Structure 1
Amino acid sequence: MRVLVAGGSGVLGRRMVPLLVERGHQVTATATSAAKLDLLERLGAEGVVMDGLEPASVGDAVAASRPDVIVHQMTAISVAHAGKADMKHMDRWFAGTNRLRTEGTDHLLAAAEAHGVPHFVAQSYGAWNGIREGGRVKTEQDPVDPMTGTAAEPGMAAIRHVEDAVLKAGGAVLRYGWFYGPGTMDDLVEPIRKRQFPVVGGGGGYCSWIHLDDAASATVLAVEHKARGVFAIVDDEPAPAAEWLPYLAECAGAKRPMRVPAWLARPLAGDVAVLMMTEGRGFSNARAKKELGWELRYPSWREGFKAELS
């Protein structure tokens, strides 16, 4: 198929584009600057500069590539775009990404309709943000939590926009877990090595993880199966912070994380970090494995963390 990967130069796009090419697809991948075009061409794609917030730019990219499917992977959370990770001020940290998940999604869907693109696959997020009621592990039938009154509220609203718009258009929404793998590990383990990432309260909040290579393989399958609906793209072992965080520290050769009470963490790290660590809900991957025939290289973060940090 002809595949347009919007946001192909990101950490997931860099793992996905070569896999699509290897499986015989003709790939056009977008970047926000001409400086990244050489990278995309080395990965086997035709590189195109596109501004996801400009309808004309999006329309031109879709018209030129004539895709059979558009894969929406546009975000703006890299240090270059958004600065250092900042969960306390997540509304500011994710401001660019939220626009790409609202305005950018609408521009891509409008271009898809205008040019007769029959299929659409979009990135969503499902790591610790399942609805905070009932059990600790959610399915695709469960909504993401609105995080009302926190700095994550605009981001959760943007995720709901992606999901509602893409499902209305008959496409597939992939709720990826917390990414780890090439290009992500330094940002993940640096605060742990500095003992700036403690276990909050009892650490009972659940999180689902996914290695970038497994996220890429699931996305390719969603493309090839012309999947429709919501799929949780996470590993087999959603787990509480009290388990994964000390293990990640051990794999990174760091000291065991400190424990701090929620009342102390809240003014330092913000409400979102406290909610994640104490009340988070992970997700089940049963649907993706059954309907896409997806097999994970790293079924558990235990294997994946160790492999990445050995």
Structure 2
Amino acid sequence: MHVFAIGASGVLGRHLVPMLLRRGHDVTVMAPDRLDRLPAEVRRIRASLLAPEAERLLAADFKGVDAVVNAATAVPATPTAPDGWARNTALRSAGTGVVTGALQEAEVRRFVQMSITMVYADGGDDQLTEAAPLDHRPARATLVGPVLAMETQVRKLPADEIAWSILRGGRFVGPGTVQEQQRARLRAGDLPIPGDGREWVSMVHARDYADAVVAALERGCAGKTLNVADQPVRVADYYRDLARADDSPRPRHDPNAAAEPSHRVSSEAARQLLGWTPVHGIWPLRDQDR
């Protein structure tokens, strides 16, 4: 199968691209940068979804492609910077429309869209399936709005013509992810547990998420939105165990720190429909790829 992967030159791509090659697929990757990190066998296209001619060019590049993966994101290095999320927002809203338009023009038969579980409303201790409500509070609009726009555009694709699937991934952990920043802050004693830390957090190793992408591509899981996350843990337990893994100081509680929504995500549907099971875990000592 010829797979065209958009934006897979970063953390996900370092796992996904070699995995696809090992399984005998041909791979083309389009990204604006970091293409030099990819294996030599990969065809590289240096371009952005936000370029004026992107849809026309993509439609031509998609000709003869069997499947497309859209993993285009632009998470800012400084999330609190003014307009720091503007490019990521544009990629998820306008960029996704570019991809879906080109898919239909080129008559590509399979499509996997990367999404996130962080868009769910606070679920407390309840397990969150794919039917759980999204968080529509104004304070979360910067995150949730673009993801909702992205997923809505994908769902408009005719599933009988394009076997599309949306994979809502938990927070990525492993090398090159925010987990490395968390570990550094724990070593410095600079990452407190917000409040009582009873909220749930759902994460997934980037390599395990790549496994789910490959399964969705090969199975053609048409018209499905699936959660892809490892076993959820409480925030306090995660911080304490992460600190213990590095022999870092035990993190303190900060009653004034704002807690994020509680997301106890269920990935049972991915297990059933994709045969997916996380094997790399969320803890640094279990990383197999350093």
Q: Tell me the TM-score normalized by structure 2.
A: 0.89
Matched, 1:142 2:139: no
In structure 1, list runs of 5 or more residues that go unmatched.
Answer: 266-273
Q: Which structure 2 segments of 5+ residues have no match?
A: none
Name 1:282's counterpart in structure 2.
Answer: 264
CA distance in 1, matches of 2:92, 2:105: 19
1:110 counterpart letter in structure 2: G
TM-superposition CA deviations, 1:230-280 (whole Å, max 9, x none) = 110101x2111011111111112211111111xx32xxxxxxxx241xx41
Q: Are residues 1:191 and 2:174 paired?
A: no
SS in 2 for 1:8: coil
Pick the structure with more helix per residue: 1
TM alignment of 1:33-182, pairs within 5 A: 33=33, 36-42=34-40, 44-66=41-63, 67-77=65-75, 82-84=76-78, 86=79, 89=80, 92-127=83-118, 129-133=119-123, 135-146=125-136, 148-150=137-139, 152-169=140-157, 170=159, 171-182=164-175
AA partner of residue 39 (structure 1): R
8 Å Cα contact 1:8-1:40 kept in structure 2: no
1:198/1:134 CA distance change after superposition, 3 Å: closer
2:225 is aligned to 230
Shift of the alpha carbon at 1:201? 1.1
Asked whether the 8 Å contact 2:185–2:191 carries over to 1, the reply is yes
Paired amino acid for 1:139: T
Aligned partners of 1:93 and 1:65: how far apart in 2? 31
- Superposed CA RMSD in Å reads 2.1
Per the alignment, in what secondary structure is the counterpart of residue 232 of structure 1?
A: strand
Deviation by residue 1:87-127 (Cα, 9 ceiling, x = unmatched): xx388443221111111101111111111112221111114
Instruction: Give 3-state SS (helix, strand or coil) of 1:5's partner.
Output: strand
| Matched AA of 2:278 | L
Q: CA deviation at 1:136?
A: 3.1
One-letter amino acid matched to 2:104: E
Q: Alignment partner for residue 273 of structure 2, among 266, 281, 291?
A: 291
Query: Could you list the runs of 4 or more consecutive aligned residues of structure 1 that deviate by over 6 angstroms after TM superposition?
Result: none
In 2: Cα distance, 1:182 partner to 1:244 partner? 17
Q: Give the 3-state SS of the residue equivalent to 1:179 in structure 2.
A: strand
Would the aligned equivalents of 1:120 and 1:172 in 2 still touch at CA under 8 Å?
Answer: yes
The answer to whether 1:201 aligns with 2:195 is: yes
SS across alignment from 2:196: coil
The question of whether the paired residues in 1 share the 8 Å contact of 2:93 and 2:149 is answered with yes
Code of the residue aligned with 1:29 in structure 2: it is V
User: In 2, are the aligned partners of 1:72 and 1:123 still within 8 Å (CA)?
Assistant: yes
Structure 1 residues 93 and 30, CA gap change in structure 2 (3 angstroms): same
Paired amino acid for 2:133: P
Give deviations 1:128-183, integer Å, cap 9, x for gaps: x422246432001113322x232x31210111112211122132111100101122
Aligned length: 281
- Identity rate of aligned residues, in percent? 28
Check whether the contact 1:4–1:65 (CA below 8 A) recurs between aligned residues: yes
Cα distance change on mapping 1:142 and 1:83 into 2, 3 Å:
same
CA displacement, residues 257-305 of structure 1 (integer Å, 9 cap, x when unaligned): 11111xx32xxxxxxxx241xx41221110001110113213x43xx33
Q: Distance in 1 between matches of 2:266 and 2:103?
A: 30
Matches within 5 A, 1:212-291: 212-228=206-222, 229-235=224-230, 237-261=231-255, 264-265=256-257, 274-276=258-260, 279-291=261-273
Could you say what secondary structure the match of 1:54 adopts? coil
User: Following the alignment from structure 1 to structure 2, what is the Cα–Cα distance between the partners of residues 194 and 159?
Assistant: 34
Provide, for residues 58-113 of structure 1, a one-character-per-residue CA deviation record: whole Å limited to 9, x for no partner. 43244224222110100111xxxx233x3xx3884432211111111011111111
